[in-house]
Amino acid sequence: MIENQPETTSGIPLKLLYGPDDVPADIREALGSPPGRAPYLRGAYPRMYRDRPWRIFQLSGYGNPEDMNERLKFLLFEAGETGIIIKHDRMTDDHLYDVDHPEIVERREDVGLTGTVTVGLRDYETILSDLPLDSIYAKPGGGVPQSAVYTLPSYWSVATRRGIPLEKLAGTGQSDFFLTYLGCPTKEQIPPEAAIRFNLDLIEWCSERMPRWVPVSIAGYNAADSGLSAHQELGAVMANAVQYLDMIAARGKVDVERLAHRIGGVNFRVSMEVFEDAAKLRAARKMWSDLLGERYGITDEKARQMRIHVVTAGSAMTYQEPFNNIVRGTLMALFSVLGGTQSLGVSGYDEAMSIPSDHAHLMSIRIQQILQNEINLREIADPLGGSYYVESLTGELEQRGWEFFEQIQGRGGFLSVLDDGFLLECAEENNQRIAVGMESGERAIVGVNTHTIDDPIMDVEAFEGRSGAQTWEMAMERLADLRRTRHGRGAVEALRHLEAVCRDDSVNAIPAFMEAVSADASIGEIGNVLRETFGDWQVPISV
C-alpha cells in the first residue's frame, strides 16, 4: 500500500525519523554561535529569558476612549501585561474617516467593534489618562501607514504636553505593508509609494530623537494569516526590508547600519503548525543577519540582530467550542517562546466572533504567565537547538525562503509584488488548498470537522463593548464638541501646512502631523489632506 506523503502546511515533506544527516551544513555551523551572536540562530540575546522575560503584549481596544483607558489599566495594573497595544477602530482609524463620513454613517453600529474610536488628539488624552508614559512600553496603533502618521504623533503629543521628553518614550510603531496592501486592505488607502515616504520619515525622525522607539515594524503575521506559507512569509519579510534599506540609502540621510538597527523589530505569526513555525523564527533571525551582513556589508553584529514579536494565529481560533482555543493558544504560545520570541500576543479564545472580552483577554495573559512561571521555560535558551527535526525544518525554510525572496526580487521587488497581485495570488492559492483540506477532512479541526457534537455546551457570546451600538453616537458628540470648541483658524492653518509638506517629499512630514493633531485637527480632516494629495490605491484582487 502506498502511504500518503505527510507534509507541513507549507508543503515540507515529513519523514518518520530525522538524524544527523538531515541538518544542513550551514545550520550546523550557525549552531556553534551562542545566543546573542550573529547569525542569531539560537536567540537574540546572550542570556535570553533569564535577563529579560518575553513581553506580554496583547492587542487591545474597543469602544470609546474611556472604555479603552479602562481596559488598558486593567491589563497593565491588574492582569499583569508588560506593555500596551492600542487597537483602533478599523473603520474610522485605518481609513482616517470622521465618524460622520458617509461610509461610516451607514455602518454606524459597527464603530468601536474592531478597536477604539478617536476623533482627535483629545481622545488620546482620555485613552492615556493615569498611564505612566515615561515608563511603559507602548504600541499606540498605526497598523497601516496612513493611520500611523496620525496615531504616533498623537501619542507623542500627549507625552509632550505632559512634559515628558520624546527621548524617554519607549515603544513601537507598525506601518505594515502586509496588513495594508495584502491582508486587510482598506476601502481607501494611500498608494505604497506615499506610505514608503511616511515610513522613511518616521525612521529618520526616530533615529534623530527617539532612541527607544521602533519607528516601523514589518509584520509577517499579516502575510501569513492572509495565506502566505512559512517560507513565503520569510522571503517576503526580507524583500520588505530590502525595500526600506535601498530606498533610505538612496535618500542618504541615515546610514544603512543605523537604519538596519531601527527596522530590526519584526512580527511573525505562529500557527498550529508549531514545529515549523518555531523553526521559522530561528530561520528568520539567521536570514536577517545574513542579509544585512552579505548584501549591505554591515559588520556590527548588533545592527544585524532581529527582535521578534509573535502573534498567535487568529485563523486557528474556531467559532465552534471556543474554549478549545485556550488549548490552541497555549500550544502556539509555547512554541513561540521555544522559537525565541521577544514579545508575544496570544489570540483571544473568542477571536472567531469578536474582539476579546475581559475574560478572554485575561486568559491570554494567564497562558503566558503560566508559561513564564510554572514550567522552567525561562531558564533555557533555544531548547529546540540541535533537534535533528527542527534543524532540518530550519534549513529547509531558510532555503525555500531565499528562493521566494529571489522570486520577488526577480519580479521587480517588494512594492511590485504588492501592486501586481502576485502575493495575493500566492495567498489565495494556499487558502484554497487549506479550504479543500478542511472540506475533505484531511485537515482535521476538533469540534469543527471532526469530533463534533450537536449540544453547544461551550457557548460563548461575542463581546460587543460596554456602550454597544451607542458608541457611534457618543463619538459624534465628541466630534461636534471638537469642532465647536477648538481654535478654528489654527486647525485650518495646520492642515494647510500639512498639505504643503505632503506635496514636498524633501521635507520630513512628521512635525507637520504633530502640529496638525496638536491644533485639534480631526482624524477625517487629516485623512482628507492625504486623500487629496496622494489619491487612492486600487486592490489588485482577483478571485
In the complex, the residues that contact another protein under the rule CB under 8 A are: 90-91, 94-95, 102-104, 106-107, 109-110, 113-114, 183-187, 226-227, 315, 318-320, 352-354, 427-428, 431-432, 435, 438-439, 445, 448-449, 459-462, 464, 469, 541, 543
Closer to another protein by CB, 293 or 322: give it: 322
Residue 240 CB burial class (10 angstroms; 0-12, 13-18, ≥19): buried
Q: Return left, alpha or beta for 37; rule: phi > 0 is left, psi -120 to 50 is alpha, else beta.
A: beta
In three-state secondary structure terms, 76 is helix
Q: Measured from the CB of residue 461, what is the shortest distance to another protein in angstroms?
A: 5
Q: Are 393 and 224 in contact (CB under 8 A)?
A: no
Q: Measured from the CB of residue 439, what is the shortest distance to another protein in angstroms?
A: 5
Which cell numbers in the block locate residue 44?
A: 537574540
Closer to another protein by CB, 453 or 541: give it: 541
Q: Measured from the CB of residue 429, what is the shortest distance to another protein in angstroms?
A: 11
Q: What angle do CA 119, 124, 129 make, to 5 degrees?
A: 140
Q: Measured from the CB of residue 326, what is the shortest distance to another protein in angstroms?
A: 17
Q: Measured from the CB of residue 463, what is the shortest distance to another protein in angstroms?
A: 9
Q: Measured from the CB of residue 99, what is the shortest distance to another protein in angstroms?
A: 12
Q: Measured from the CB of residue 211, what is the shortest distance to another protein in angstroms?
A: 34
Q: Measured from the CB of residue 431, what is the shortest distance to another protein in angstroms?
A: 6
Closer to another protein by CB, 8 or 114: give it: 114
Closer to another protein by CB, 69 or 180: give it: 180
Q: Is the dihedral of CA 410, 415, 418, 423 positive or negative?
A: positive
d(CA 477, CA 101) in angstroms, rounded, equals: 14
Which cell numbers in the block locate residue 290?
A: 545574513
Enclosing H/E stretch for 72: helix 65-73
The count of other CB atoms within 10 Å of the CB of residue 542 is 8
Closer to another protein by CB, 108 or 139: give it: 108
Q: Measured from the CB of residue 176, what is the shortest distance to another protein in angstroms?
A: 13
Q: Are 90 and 103 in contact (CB under 8 A)?
A: no
d(CA 87, CA 466) in angstroms, rounded, equals: 16
Tell me whether the omega of the peptide bond preceding residue 39 falls within 30 degrees of 0, making it cis.
yes
Closer to another protein by CB, 301 or 428: give it: 428
d(CA 182, CA 499) in angstroms, rounded, equals: 27
Q: Measured from the CB of residue 114, what is the shortest distance to another protein in angstroms?
A: 6
Q: Are 217 and 265 in contact (CB under 8 A)?
A: yes
In three-state secondary structure terms, 80 is coil
The backbone torsions φ and ψ at residue 539, rounded to the nearest 5 degrees and listed phi first, read -70, 125
Q: Measured from the CB of residue 110, what is the shortest distance to another protein in angstroms?
A: 3
- From the list 135, 158, 306, 171, the residue with the least C-alpha distance to 237 is 306
Closer to another protein by CB, 462 or 492: give it: 462
Closer to another protein by CB, 95 or 304: give it: 95
Alpha carbon distances (Å) from 336 to 137, 306, 396: 20, 15, 19
Closer to another protein by CB, 104 or 311: give it: 104
Q: Which long-range contacts (CB under 8 A, 24 or more apart) does 464-471 make?
A: 464/113, 464/354, 465/62, 465/63, 465/67, 465/112, 465/113, 466/63, 466/67, 467/63, 467/64, 467/67, 467/112, 469/108, 469/109, 471/63, 471/64, 471/111, 471/112, 471/117
Closer to another protein by CB, 55 or 101: give it: 101
